[in-house]
Amino acid sequence: MLALARSARAIRPPSSRAIASTSSTRLNEDDKDGGKTIEIIEANLDRKKGEFQKKDETHVRAALLTTRKEALSLYRAVIRASVFFVWRDERGRQWRDVIRESARKEFEAGRRERDPEMVNRMLLMGRDAVDKAVNRFLEKREAIQREEDACSSQGGEPSPS
């Protein structure tokens, strides 16, 4: 039992004080060796880091993987929202189908975009457009419902709008 307690103490992680003292010692040692620390700090604080990351293939792939999930989520939101639009346009096609076709074209056009900043901008604009369209639809539906309720309580026909 005593041996188990000793081995548990041996594998315990070092305290933060011990970590701080060793890291500051390393920094001082680096400074003695020619200022490598200053070079590392300047490299990390470089204002052009964002531009470097745009050119770094692994960073771009990681950013695009994350935005790919967001794009799928947005595409699904568009498909779900399109269900509400059941009336027909001037050509006789249902708006649901028009919206879905348009969304598919937009996503296919944006598929080739490699700049993560531009992809994020397109996703934000798309999400905002979907939210606004759904909110306008719900507001209009509530207005129609209130009008129908008012007319049914009066016993008349709703006025055409």
Domains contained in the chain, number: 1
Give CA 15 to chain center in angstroms: 37
Residue 42 domain flag: no
Confidence (pTM): 0.54
Residue 98 domain flag: yes
- Mapping DSSP onto H, E and C, the string for 107-158 reads HHHHCCCCCHHHHHHHHHHHHHHHHHHHHHHHHHHHHHHHHHHHHHHHCCCC
pLDDT tens for 62-95 read: 666 677 888 899 999 999 999 998 889 899 999 9
Residue 159 domain flag: no
Residue 3 domain flag: no
Q: Which domain holds residue 135?
A: 60-153
Kindly give the residue spans of alpha helices, DSSP state H, lying in 12-94. Answer: 16-32, 36-44, 49-55, 57-82
Q: What is the mean pLDDT of the chain?
A: 73
Work out the pLDDT band at 51, boundaries 50, 70, 90. low
Residue 4 domain flag: no
pLDDT tens for 15-50 read: 444 444 444 444 444 445 555 656 656 555 555 555
CA distance 19 to 120: 38
Residue 91 domain flag: yes
In order of 28, 34, 41, 109, 122, the CA distances from 21 in angstroms are: 11, 21, 19, 54, 47
| Residues 145, 149, 154, 157, CA torsion sign | positive
Q: Return the SS3 of 14.
A: coil
* Structure confidence at residue 119 (pLDDT): 85
Residue 6 domain flag: no
Q: Phi and psi at residue 88, in whole multiples of 5°?
A: -105, 155
